[in-house]
Structure 1
């Protein structure tokens, strides 16, 4: 383990993160709000912290190893979450504790979208913009950005990329060089953000709301500049624009890269994971629509259909935007939507959840075990499309699932130990470990009323979900620290 190299890169990444204080600072100047000094102070404080880490080891140029990459990623997301809380702590509005500020910051960076705030529209414009910006940087992962624009990271970029990128298959590169791969991903990400912002603006949002919501839409985050989320605009057109970009952002970004390079869309329909992703959303959306119509919850067909489509896609992709109180929907619908979030989006997308490809592999492996009971001598392969899946990948998926469920159960019990009821505890952990955001019960609207201990447990769940369990869990094993 090269701790000096880890320290050097952590310092560089913190200095990079300090630059993210400048856009909200400019917004503060533009709108003349009261958050100018907090953002200015945060910029210098984070820059200085990064500089103090970097200077003593600036000459260290050891090649990064895999373990170094894991340590950098976990340290950076932890430190970044705390650093992102600085302007929220310093600001007079909102006046919140450090725990709440850290919760809000980490929720944004992990694109969870769970909030402790109320009266969001009354906050300074720079604070409102900053929350949206946090999600945008967290969506693709600021470390992937660092790999793209910081050549000083050198050969070890692949270790950071593998530890950071979401999804079970992390060794494939779109281009020969890892820096070019990261740049390609960010060009696609930026292009989608610009297109989404323009679509929102044409549909009637102000430029401020259009940019802010494009950040959280393409990042599949769920933060909004209003308490009522997307429902504030009361516009089916805006909601459908949101649905389109959520679906696009929930698909593997490698698919978008190949679509751009080959000028073709045919490969989307050939991809097993994309077909399952669309199929799951379609089936759940159909069930939600039929149930709402049968129960007459929303009255007419028009309202029922657009609310059903929007909430299914929003929850299913783990965005967490809302147009209505889905937690009050009849029968099994609230739980069905929460369960859909567990599946989430495709690997290498900005969505959360366990990822569709893992869900598919779990089903196929379960079916294989049934066939083996019937035909013990049969050689049954697990395939994605026409290709057999390596047994090591299947073992890794089962290991991931086992750790995911065990940690989920433990955190639910911890939250119930703080006095929360079963529905609240279950949905709170589900909404944070899947990076969804809104839950049920006490946390249906915000997380401000739960205890500080519960919030720290949920922050741990956010990190587990964003770093896909093992990246964080591996640091807790003695084997990781052995030479």
Structure 2
């Protein structure tokens, strides 16, 4: 293990992150909300820490190996989430304990969107902007951003990319060089953010709200600048804009790239994962719409459809925006939406969950086993579109599913041990492991009332979900640490 090389890169990345504290500081000066000092102190502390980690190891030039990439990825997200605590802690207008500050920081960075804050609209604008920016940076992954510039620092990035980008087929690259791949990912990401911002603005949001909500929409995060979330605007148009961009952000960014370079929308229709994703979303919306219609939850059919569409897409893509209290709907629907969040979006998107491609492979593997029971001598293969999926990939998907289930059970049992009821423990674990945000029971509105122990368990769940379980679990194996 090249520890000094890892520390050198970690120090550089912390210094890079400290620069992201400048925009919220500028917002504090514009709105004169008193948060400027907090962000200045946070910047000084973070860049000092980064420098102290980097400087003793500045001459270490060894290349990263696969194991180094996994360790650096976990260290970076853990350290970055810890550095992200500082603005919450230093801002006098937001009196948070270290636990609450950590929960808010990791929730933002992992795009979970769970919050312990109330009266959000009364917080300083700088803190509001910082929360949204955290989600935007975490959405695509700050490490992917760093990969785009690391070659200029003499650091190879492929190991980081493999550890960070989700999905079972993540060795496939859009461009021959990993730095070019990361840059193209961010070009698309930034373009979607800009278009979403202007769409929100044209729909009636102010510039601050438009930028803030575009950040969390494209990141599929769910943080808002209001307690009522998207419901504050009470606009069917804004709801539809949010739905469109949540769906776009939940599609594999490599497919976006293929569509742009090929100048054809057929890339979306040819991709089996995108087709599966759209089918799942359509079926879910129909079920929710018909149910709220039958139970007369809303006054008109138009409102029922708009709310059903918005909440179905928001929860199933793991964004967690709200326009109404979906937890008060007929119990069948909240549980259905929570289970839908386990599927999430497509691989290599900003959405959470297991990912559609894995669910498709699990389903097709299940069908193959049923066929083998009927025809034991038959030869069956698992296909994704017209492509035969290698057995190694199928095995990896089953292994991932088993690990995901194990982590879920362990964390849920831990929450039950802290005194939470069954529904709260189940939904909170699902919401944080799937990077969803809102849950049911005691965490339907926010997570302020649960114990500190439960909050730390959920922070761990957020990290497991954001880093797709294996990246963390591999560090717990004796094999990883053997030289």
Length-normalised TM-score, structure 1:
0.99
**How far off its partner does 1:44 sit?**
0.8
Partner SS, residue 102 of structure 2: helix
State yes or no: 1:467 paired with 2:432.
Answer: no
**How far off its partner does 1:273 sit?**
0.3
Describe the superposition over 1:67-93 as per-residue Cα deviations: whole angstroms up to 9, x where unpaired. 000001000000111100101011112
1:293/1:299 contact within 8 Å kept: no
2:150/2:156 contact within 8 Å kept: no
CA distance in 2, matches of 1:101, 1:323: 26
Aligned to 1:253: 253
1:354/1:434 contact within 8 Å kept: yes
Partner SS, residue 128 of structure 1: helix
**How far off its partner does 1:155 sit?**
5.3
CA distance in 2, matches of 1:370, 1:220: 36
Partner SS, residue 156 of structure 1: coil
Aligned to 2:452: 452
Aligned to 1:226: 226
**How far off its partner does 1:236 sit?**
0.4
Aligned to 2:170: 170
Partner SS, residue 150 of structure 1: helix
Partner SS, residue 330 of structure 2: coil
CA distance in 2, matches of 1:358, 1:27: 41
Aligned to 2:120: 120
CA distance in 1, matches of 2:33, 2:331: 45
CA distance in 2, matches of 1:432, 1:156: 32
2:219/2:351 contact within 8 Å kept: yes
**How far off its partner does 1:152 sit?**
4.2
CA RMSD of aligned residues (A): 0.7
Aligned to 2:28: 28
* Structure 1 segments of 4+ aligned residues over 4 angstroms from their partners: none
Aligned to 1:50: 50
Aligned to 2:203: 203
**How far off its partner does 1:331 sit?**
3.6
CA distance in 2, matches of 1:452, 1:330: 31
Aligned to 2:131: 131
CA distance in 2, matches of 1:86, 1:367: 50
Aligned to 2:398: 398
1:361/1:394 contact within 8 Å kept: yes
Aligned to 2:82: 82
Deviates more, 1:150-159 or 1:36-45: 150-159
Length-normalised TM-score, structure 2:
0.99
CA distance in 2, matches of 1:279, 1:81: 35
Aligned to 1:282: 282
Partner SS, residue 297 of structure 1: coil
Matched positions, count = 483
**How far off its partner does 1:151 sit?**
2.2
CA distance in 1, matches of 2:119, 2:411: 29
**How far off its partner does 1:153 sit?**
5.0
**How far off its partner does 1:267 sit?**
1.3
Aligned to 1:267: 267
Unmatched 5+ residue regions in structure 1?
Answer: none
**Which residues in structure 2 correspond to 1:104-119 (within 5 Å)?**
104-119=104-119
1:65/1:156 contact within 8 Å kept: no
State yes or no: 1:91 paired with 2:71.
Answer: no
CA distance in 2, matches of 1:208, 1:444: 27
Describe the superposition over 1:89-112 as per-residue Cα deviations: whole angstroms up to 9, x where unpaired. 111121010110011000000000
1:246/1:313 contact within 8 Å kept: yes
CA distance in 2, matches of 1:383, 1:145: 33
1:88/1:101 contact within 8 Å kept: yes
CA distance in 1, matches of 2:331, 2:8: 54
1:9/1:153 contact within 8 Å kept: no
**How far off its partner does 1:374 sit?**
0.9
**How far off its partner does 1:150 sit?**
2.8
State yes or no: 1:63 paired with 2:77.
Answer: no
**How far off its partner does 1:137 sit?**
0.2
Aligned to 1:368: 368
Aligned to 2:319: 319
